[in-house]
């Protein structure tokens, strides 16, 4: 009788659960039994592992083989357990020393020829192993750079099972040639890193020259709102006729945001790795992601879902970045209202019959919509052809509770001929605006040192009112609006947060009455006096 054990990781959403892989060999009728709540793809590992071992020059043990995955109550799926299962079998057969396996965490798929193929979710798997005290991990060679992002963990990237056996047996590793690939074709081994149909997240492609804010003509109020949104991570609603520049503005918002901190980069990369949208050769997401799903997106694709345990949706893919919903009024009402909880808590808690999980969703939401179905209501571009009832139904798709969570609401008017012809001469560049945003973020970070918050939009209203009180009379206009029913209690808190952002942009130690008035104007569209913070 032989017994061996090693470790792998099961992913539940974007969180890893350590799984002990045990192999037991006993005399009896030869067979291979896999237990521990595996799904179909994991059950098929029996055939993959057997073929990989035989084609790697290892004799298959002609005994009764049982492989157990513990804890048995956790659902397990995918092909990432193949390496751990194969090594546990080799340890039970005494082909390698079982003691070499107990302190290793292994993740990777096996091809029938014994080559190791990459899988999704390596980063969160290694993070879970590091948190559990493991300091050595074995991963496919293609994902070794991704696993190396976790500090304090020694990463062994292997190309084949033969290499791994030699390394664990203290033998010279064989030279493995890459799998033959037709000239001009992509590496087939990398196909396991991408989710079919993963394009539901329209991530902004990497470009040599990112979109510049100087390319947007006119739109002074919208540009100012964009700067405020970036400085305090405030949600933004752009309303205006077709062709006014709403999409252009939204696409340039990620360029105004500061680069991600190391902690934020790891969180964003983990989500992208699990979702299968991490670009090959780019193991770390260092810039704020930009996600722009089509307005026909389902609730599962936007919030997270799928068969079995849910997978990350667009709100999680935009974690620490921007989620842009163009033609928001064309989205389903239930889909839009599902955003209300993530906007408040910064996370999605999805419950299914076979499990519940938490997905991160700390994002900056940008909504864009036309004023009516034809897009000409209230404009000089032509007479609106929509009936009043149609206009009301169209606008009602953006519910009051959702808009109450949006701090900035700006009307984007059509660009005049003079503004369009002026071009970039009268427009600031992304670099200039981003510098002011970075300075405002630094002021907020210095003020919030020692607290769990990083930006003004995260600070609870009670803390702003008690820990950092405003001068006497500064909130008079907001209090009057609340008394008249124009503002809810949540709305008052959000006005206060925007006022702090305006003060940070202007270099003031705390907001004044003019900052509160400007915040009210950005929320309601009603002028309250001279603007504060930012530039027109």
Give which of 451, 424, 455 is closest to 438, Cα–Cα. 455
35 part of a folded domain: yes
With respect to residue 256, please indicate whether it lies within any of the assigned structural domains: yes
Whether 200 shows a pLDDT value over 60: the answer reads: no
Q: Which helix (H) or strand (E) holds 70?
A: strand 64-70
Band (pLDDT 50/70/90 cuts) for residue 205 is very low
101-130 pLDDT, tens digit per residue, is 999 999 999 999 999 999 999 999 999 999
Contact 136, 148 (CB under 8 A): no
Q: Which residues pair with 355 in a beta bridge?
A: 352
Of residues 193 and 26, more confidence is placed in: 26
pLDDT of amino acid 384: 85
Domain assignment present for 515: no
Say yes or no: 69 and 169 in one domain.
yes
Select from 432, 464, 492 the last residue of a domain: 432
**Which pLDDT does position 379 carry in this prediction?**
72
Helix axes 430-447, 220-232, angle to 10 degrees: 40
> Contact at 8 Å (CB) between 297 and 340?
no
293, 304 in Cβ contact below 8 A? no
- Selection from 493, 504, 498, 491 nearest residue 519 by Cα: 498
Does residue 7 have a pLDDT over 50? Answer: yes
* 39's tokens: 């799904």
**∠ CA 317-319-325 to the nearest 5 degrees?**
65
pLDDT at position 177 is 72
Based on the fold, state whether residues 125 and 245 are members of the same structural domain: no
Of 406, 432, 458, at which residue does a domain stop? Answer: 432
What integer is the mean pLDDT of 371-397?
Answer: 84
More reliable by pLDDT, 103 or 536: 103
pTM here? 0.88
Percentage of the chain with pLDDT > 70? 89
Question: Is the domain of 220 the same as that of 168?
Answer: no
Region 510-522 average pLDDT: 93
Asked if 11 contacts 270 with a C-beta cutoff of 8 angstroms, the reply is: no
The per-residue pLDDT for 180 is 64
The label of the residue with tokens 């036309």 reads: 370
Q: Mean pLDDT, the chain, as a whole number? A: 88
Whether residue 423 sits in one domain with residue 289:
yes
* pLDDT band at 454; cut points 50, 70, 90: very high
pLDDT at 191 over 80: no
User: Residues 248, 378: one domain?
Assistant: yes
HSE-CB of 37 using CA atoms within 13 angstroms: 12
513-524 vs 476-483: helix axis angle to the nearest 10? 40
Average pLDDT, stretch 341-361? 84
Q: Where is average pLDDT lowest: 176-180, 273-277, 499-503?
A: 176-180
Length of the chain: 536
Pick from 4, 7, 73, 86: which is nearest to 46 by CA?
86
Residue pair 284/278 in contact by the 8 Å Cβ criterion: no
Q: In angstroms, rounded to a whole number, what is the distance separating the alpha carbons of residues 74 and 81?
A: 14
Sign of CA dihedral 483, 488, 493, 494: negative
159 and 217 inside one domain: no
Query: pLDDT class for 276, splitting at 50, 70, 90?
Result: confident
- Residue after which a domain boundary falls, among 379, 402, 432: 432
**Segment (H or E) for 229:** helix 220-232
Q: Please check the confidence at residue 209 and state whether its pLDDT lies above 70.
A: no
Helical H segments across 253-313, by residue range: 262-275, 299-303
- Decide if 180 is inside a domain: no
Task: Give me Rg for the CA atoms of the chain.
Answer: 27
The pLDDT, as a whole number, for residue 215 is 87
Query: pLDDT value at position 381?
Result: 63
Residues 220 and 130 in one domain: no
Helix (H) or strand (E) holding 451, with range, is none
The reply to whether 245 and 162 lie within a common domain is no
Distance CA 335, CA 300 (A): 9
* pLDDT at 193 exceeding the cut of 80: no
Which strand (E) or helix (H) includes residue 25?
Answer: strand 15-26
Is residue 26 assigned to a domain? yes
Q: Which residues contact 369 (CB under 8 A, 6 or more apart)?
A: 237, 238, 239, 327, 328, 329, 398
In the chain, the number of structural domains is 2
Q: Tell me which residue of 224, 140, 126, 133 sits closest to 176, measured CA to CA.
A: 140
Does residue 364 fall inside a structural domain? yes
Cα dist from 250 to 289, 302, 414, 495, whole Å: 13, 18, 16, 22
Q: Are residues 220 and 166 in the same domain?
A: no
Clarify whether residues 85 and 232 are in a common domain.
no
**What's the CATH code of the domain at 427?**
3.40.50.300
Q: Where are the alpha helices (DSSP H) in 24-81?
A: 40-43, 45-55
The set of residues, in sequence order, having a beta carbon less than 8 Å from that of 508 and lying 6+ positions away, is: 515
Q: Where are the beta strands (DSSP E) in 293-394?
A: 304-305, 311-312, 322-325, 347-352, 355-360, 364-369
Of 352, 358, 353, 307, the C-alpha closest to 40 is 307
Cβ distance 355 to 320 under 8 Å? no
C-alpha–C-alpha distance, residues 100 and 1, integer Å: 19
Q: For 118-171, what is each residue's pLDDT tens digit?
A: 999 999 999 999 999 999 999 999 999 999 999 999 999 999 999 999 999 988
Average pLDDT over residues 72-85: 92
Instruction: For the chain, give the longest Cα–Cα distance.
Output: 88
Range of the domain at 391: 213-432
Q: What is the CATH number of the domain that holds 162?
A: 3.30.230.10
| Token digits of residue 112 | 């029938």
Residue 517 has pLDDT above 90, yes or no: yes
The pLDDT of residue 536 is 40
Q: Kindly tell me if the per-residue pLDDT of 42 is higher than 80.
A: yes
In a domain, 489, yes or no: no
For residue 110, being part of any structural domain is answered with yes
Residues 232, 119 share a domain: no
Strand partners, 20: 7, 70
Contact 434, 231 (CB under 8 A): no
Contact between 103 and 134 (Cβ < 8 Å) = yes
Residue 207 scores a pLDDT above 50: no
Instruction: For residues 251 and 133, state if they share a domain.
Output: no
3 state SS of 520? helix
Cα pseudo-dihedral 451, 456, 460, 466, rounded to 10: 80
């Amino acid at each position: 009788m032989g017994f061996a054990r090693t470790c792998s990781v099961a992913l539940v959403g974007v969180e890893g659960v350590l799984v002990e892989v045990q192999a037991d060999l006993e005399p009896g009728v030869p067979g291979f039994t896999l237990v521990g709540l595996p799904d179909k793809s994991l059950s098929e590992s029996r055939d993959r592992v057997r073929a990989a071992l035989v084609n790697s020059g290892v004799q298959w043990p002609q005994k009764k083989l049982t492989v157990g995955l513990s804890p048995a109550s956790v659902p397990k799926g995918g092909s990432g357990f193949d390496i751990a299962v194969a090594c546990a079998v080799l340890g039970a057969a005494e082909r390698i020393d079982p003691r070499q396996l107990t302190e290793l965490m292994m993740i990777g798929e096996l091809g029938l020829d014994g080559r190791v193929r990459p899988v999704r979710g390596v980063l969160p798997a290694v993070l879970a192993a590091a948190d559990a005290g493991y300091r050595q991990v074995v991963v496919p060679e293609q994902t070794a750079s991704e696993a190396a992002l976790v500090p304090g963990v020694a990463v062994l990237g292997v190309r084949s099972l033969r290499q791994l056996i030699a390394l664990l047996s203290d033998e010279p590793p064989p030279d493995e040639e890459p799998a033959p690939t037709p000239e001009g074709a992509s590496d087939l081994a990398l196909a396991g890193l991408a989710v079919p149909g993963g394009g539901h997240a329209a991530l902004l492609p990497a470009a040599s020259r990112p979109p510049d804010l100087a390319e947007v003509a006119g739109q002074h109020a919208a540009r100012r709102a964009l700067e405020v949104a970036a400085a305090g991570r405030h949600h933004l609603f752009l309303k205006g006729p077709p062709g006014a520049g709403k999409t252009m503005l939204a696409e340039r918002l990620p360029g105004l945001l500061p680069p991600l901190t190391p902690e934020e980069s790891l969180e964003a990369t983990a989500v992208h790795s699990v979702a299968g949208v991490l670009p090959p050769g780019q193991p770390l997401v260092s810039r704020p992601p930009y996600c722009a799903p089509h307005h026909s997106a389902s609730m599962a694709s936007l919030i997270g879902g799928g068969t079995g345990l849910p997978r990350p949706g667009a709100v999680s893919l935009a974690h620490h970045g921007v989620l842009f919903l163009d033609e928001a009024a064309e989205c389903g009402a239930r889909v839009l209202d599902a955003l209300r909880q993530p906007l408040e808590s910064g996370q999605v808690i999805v419950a299914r019959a076979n499990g519940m999980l938490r997905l991160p969703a700390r994002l900056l939401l940008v909504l864009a919509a036309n004023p009516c179905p034809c897009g000409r209501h209230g404009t000089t571009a032509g007479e609106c052809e929509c009936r009043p009832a149609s206009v009301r139904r169209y606008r009602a798709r953006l519910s009051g509770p959702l808009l109450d969570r949006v701090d900035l609401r700006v009307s984007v008017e059509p660009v005049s001929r003079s503004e369009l012809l002026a071009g970039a001469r009268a427009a600031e560049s992304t670099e200039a605006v981003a510098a002011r945003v970075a300075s405002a973020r630094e002021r907020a970070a210095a003020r919030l040192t020692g607290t769990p918050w990083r930006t003004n939009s995260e600070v609870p209203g009670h803390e702003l009112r008690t820990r950092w009180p405003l001068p006497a009379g500064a909130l008079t206009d907001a209090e009057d609006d609340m008394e008249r029913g124009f503002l809810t209690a949540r709305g008052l808190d959000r006005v206060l947060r925007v006022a702090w952002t305006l003060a940070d942009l202007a270099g003031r130690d705390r907001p004044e009455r003019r900052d509160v008035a400007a915040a009210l104007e950005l929320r309601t569209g009603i002028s309250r006096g001279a603007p504060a913070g930012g530039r027109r």
